[in-house]
Amino acid sequence: MIKSNAYRGYSLRIAVGITALVLLMAGGAVAKSIRDDATGGDCTSFGTWNAATKTCTMTTDLTEGIQIASSGVTLDGNGRTITGSNILQSIGLSLPGRSGVTIKNLNVIQFSTGVYLSNSNNNYLIGNNANSNNEDGIFLEYYSNNNTLIGNNASNNGLRGFELSHSSNNNTLIGNNASNNSIGILLYSSSNNNLTGNNASNNDFGIFPYISSNNNLTGNNANSNTQTGIYLQQFSNNNTLIGNNASNNGGNYASNNGFYDGIFLSQSSDNNLTNNTAKNNAIWDFYSQADSLNNIVTNLEIGYTVISFESKDIALRNASAPASDPANFQNIGKYINATSNSADSWLFLNVSYTESDLGSLNESTLRISKNNGSWITDPSAFANNFGVNTAENYVFANITNFGSIFVPLGVISTPPPLTNINSCQDISSAGEYVLNASILNSGVSSCINITSNDVVFDGAGYTIDGVDTVNTYGVYVYNSTTALTNVTVKNLNVTDSVLR
């Protein structure tokens, strides 16, 4: 089946499924089979058979394919290789309607499809290499459910590294590698699969759920693909993406039209994306279009900026500073380039920050501002809800007017007033006070009386000198009605009295 979808004027052709895979081996016939009998079928012609464990261990390479003809058997490739002749629709290793089978340590090369499971459940594929095949490396089709694939490599194949197709559900893929394919991992009309810690890098597309829902993608890498890292297309809904990395994609951007984004959603809704990274992609770090609704993105790292958002039909990426900060404002080093993909696009954006980002800013004044050639510091001009959550450290805006770089800005805090002191007195207001001369023989019971919160008294190395009388104080910090806080006394010498 061939699907063709237009995007940015480019037609994407996705070959999905092989509806009439014929088991063709080298020479055009089924050459070897493994079954649960006294000799393991043909096992003893290319390996050893252990009837007690139902295990066939290869001892020689083959130039013809193998069919697993019984459930519950194990094929240990023992590092050996099955090599085909690039015959159309040929299969290296086939499991038709089998269960409880383990395939491990096997190399399969130069077939149309390296390893093929059809209507096969509860099987294990561990540590196999399915490389340099014309179409698929490892292909699960037609209700192949509850299979586990661990540590396999499917690279340099003509179309897909791994494909789960036509209701192949509840499968688990852990720690597999798919590189230098057209698509690294394709899920086609398949649901409730778990992909954890896989590498789908250096393909055209990394991980590609297509009409596939309720899948879990956790801790996968989809980096340095020539087009898009993670692409959810056409009713791929209710998927969960946690801790994946889709960065540095779009390496072919200068050569032709196509898809060059980190994470791309098309007609895919109600997905949940948490703690993912998408940065340094050729066009957009995140892109959604064609009525992709109710997707929730939490803590997406784009460059040095971490954002959370809900949206409809938007594209965004990390940006650099668009211009110098406007007067009396200062940025916190977070820049987001966001644009709309439809007339009714919207973006409810949260930008996270840390206390160290604030510098001299007044945190409560943080707002998302907009720059489209000039600064708009009043967010009411482009957002219908905005503000800052100082308890959870994020600044937010519900953006409905796009085509700009959005930047959290805050008002630069005015430093506290600086007051010079050269005589004994009361300090009853917040601020910074500096002694600019020594006070000698003060003759009072307390020279400097501090009765306010938020006071800095800097002695600047000078001296407050009393008259050596009992219960006299150089500096006395006290308020009879309240306990004082945030009072600092520094760089002061006190003689003939005490500091209290």
Confidence of residue 204 (pLDDT cuts 50, 70, 90): very high
Say what the pLDDT of residue 29 is: 46
Half-sphere exposure of 186 (CA within 13 A, CB side): 27
428, burial (CB in 10 Å: exposed 0-12, middle 13-18, buried 19+): exposed
- Does pLDDT of 256 surpass 60? no
Residue with tokens 């006190």: 494
Rounded to whole angstroms, how far apart are CA atoms 350 and 408?
10
Where among 407, 440, 463 does a domain terminate?
Answer: 407
At 8 the pLDDT is 37
Both 366 and 422 in one domain: the answer is no
> Does residue 116 sit in the same domain as residue 205?
yes
Note whether residue 372 is domain-resident.
Answer: yes
**Residue 165 CA, distance from chain mean position:** 25
Residue at 412 is within a domain: no
**Residue 344 CA, distance from chain mean position:** 26
Does residue 25 have a pLDDT over 80?
no
66 and 112, same domain (yes or no)? yes
Q: Judge residue 473's burial from the number of C-beta atoms within 10 Å of its C-beta, 0-12 exposed, 13-18 middle, 19 or more buried.
A: buried
Residues 480, 342 within the same domain: no
**413 found inside a domain:** no
Is residue 190 in a domain? yes
> Which residue range(s) make up the domain with 64?
2-407
Please tell me whether residues 346 and 493 are part of one structural domain. Answer: no
What spatial distance separates the first Cα and last Cα of the chain, rounded to whole Å?
86
Q: Is this prediction's pTM over 0.85?
A: no
Asked if residue 196 and residue 125 are part of one domain, the reply reads: yes
Average confidence (pLDDT) over 380-399: 96
CATH number of the domain at 86, please: 2.160.20
Whether residues 476 and 396 share a domain: the answer is: no
Asked whether residue 460 falls in the same domain as residue 315, the answer is no
Q: Is 306 part of any domain?
A: yes
Backbone torsion region of residue 480, taken as left when φ is above 0, otherwise alpha when ψ lies between -120 and 50, otherwise beta: alpha
Q: Which residues contact 327 (CB under 8 A, 6 or more apart)?
A: none
Same domain, 433 and 367: no
Q: Which of 407, 438, 473 is the last residue of a domain?
A: 407
The CA distance from 487 to 278, in Å, is 46
- The token duo for 450 is 């501090």
The reply to whether 482 and 334 lie within a common domain is: no
Q: Which residue from 121, 29, 13, 36 is spatially nearest to 66, judged by alpha carbons? A: 29
Helix/strand number for the chain, H first, E second: 0, 48
Residue 273 lies in a domain: yes
Task: Please tell me the predicted confidence (pLDDT) of residue 10.
Answer: 38
**DSSP reduced 3-state for 277:** strand
Tell me which amino acid residue 196 is: T
Structure tokens at 75: 């094929």
* CB 472 within 8 Å of CB 494: no
Report if residue 427 sits inside a domain. yes
Mean pLDDT of 167-172: 98
The residue from 386, 407, 428 where one domain ends is 407
Q: Is the pLDDT of residue 203 over 50?
A: yes
451/483 Cα distance (integer angstroms)? 9
Contact 466, 449 (CB under 8 A): no
What was the pLDDT predicted at 468? 74
Residue 224 in any domain: the answer is yes
Average pLDDT over residues 427-453: 92
Confidence of residue 441 (pLDDT cuts 50, 70, 90): confident
Q: For 458-480, how does the pLDDT look when each residue is reduced to its tens digit (9 = 90+)?
A: 999 999 998 777 778 899 999 99
Residues 389 and 422 in one domain: no
Position 257 scores a pLDDT of: 56
pLDDT, tens digit, for every residue of 319-361? 999 999 999 999 999 999 999 988 889 999 999 999 999 988 9
Distance CA 249, CA 110 (A): 28
- Per the structure, how many domains does the chain have? 2
Contact 106, 58 (CB under 8 A): yes
Residue 360: predicted pLDDT: 83
Torsion angle, alpha carbons of 311, 208, 197, 248, to 10: -70
Residue 143 shares a structural domain with residue 184: yes
Distance of alpha carbon 439 from alpha carbon 430, whole angstroms? 22
DSSP string, 158-184: SSEEEEEESS--S-EEES-B--SSSEE
Tell me: pLDDT of 292 over 80.
Answer: yes
